[in-house]
């Protein structure tokens, strides 16, 4: 049991610097995400974020977000928010959904300034939040300052 606690502590210490560096890279990211989360618990399941591991052109990075949901009036996805951790403006897109869509999936192309993590948050009609993240490398940045 003590070994398991020690491993958990070591993993936490290894992850801590990465989390701090991520926050330093995008100062507005935490506030933008908290505006959506609003103190609610976040689930790390039931949502898939797909984007290429290597994007040749940061101005046109394909992205797909799919959320497991029956999309009925009683249980559906209300919105999908997409954030880029190192873009000048972290909020990339917001999609508003309704049960009439039949499935909770969006596809688009986004602009990314450089190598970074993209985060998707799905808001369900009962207030639950689901989160997924993926990293991509960008050969040529798509955001000119």
Share of the chain above pLDDT 70, in %: 79
Backbone angles phi, psi at 120, to 5 degrees: -115, 135
Domains and CATH numbers, the chain: 2-140 (2.60.40.2470)
What tens digit of pLDDT does each residue of 82-121 get?
Answer: 999 998 889 999 999 999 999 999 999 999 989 999 999 9
Query: CA torsion 97→130→88→34, rounded to 10°?
Result: 100
Name the pLDDT band for 144 (thresholds 50, 70, 90).
low
Cα–Cα dist 118/51, whole Å: 9
Q: What is the pTM of this model?
A: 0.80
Helix-helix angle 29-37:2-25, to 10 degrees: 110
């Amino acid at each position: 049991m003590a070994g398991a606690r020690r491993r958990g502590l070591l993993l936490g210490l290894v992850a801590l610097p990465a989390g701090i560096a991520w926050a330093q890279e995008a100062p507005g990211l935490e506030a933008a995400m908290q505006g959506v989360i609003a103190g609610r618990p976040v689930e790390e399941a039931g949502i898939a974020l797909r984007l290429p591991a290597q994007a040749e052109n940061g101005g046109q990075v394909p992205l797909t977000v799919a959320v497991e949901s029956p999309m009925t009036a009683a249980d559906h996805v209300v919105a999908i928010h997409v954030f880029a951790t190192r873009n000048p403006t972290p909020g990339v897109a917001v999609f508003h959904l309704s049960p009439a869509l039949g499935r909770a999936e969006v596809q688009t192309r986004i602009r990314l300034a450089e190598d970074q993590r993209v985060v998707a948050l799905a808001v369900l009609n009962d207030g639950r939040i689901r989160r997924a993240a993926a990293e991509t490398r960008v050969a040529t940045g798509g955001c000119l300052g």
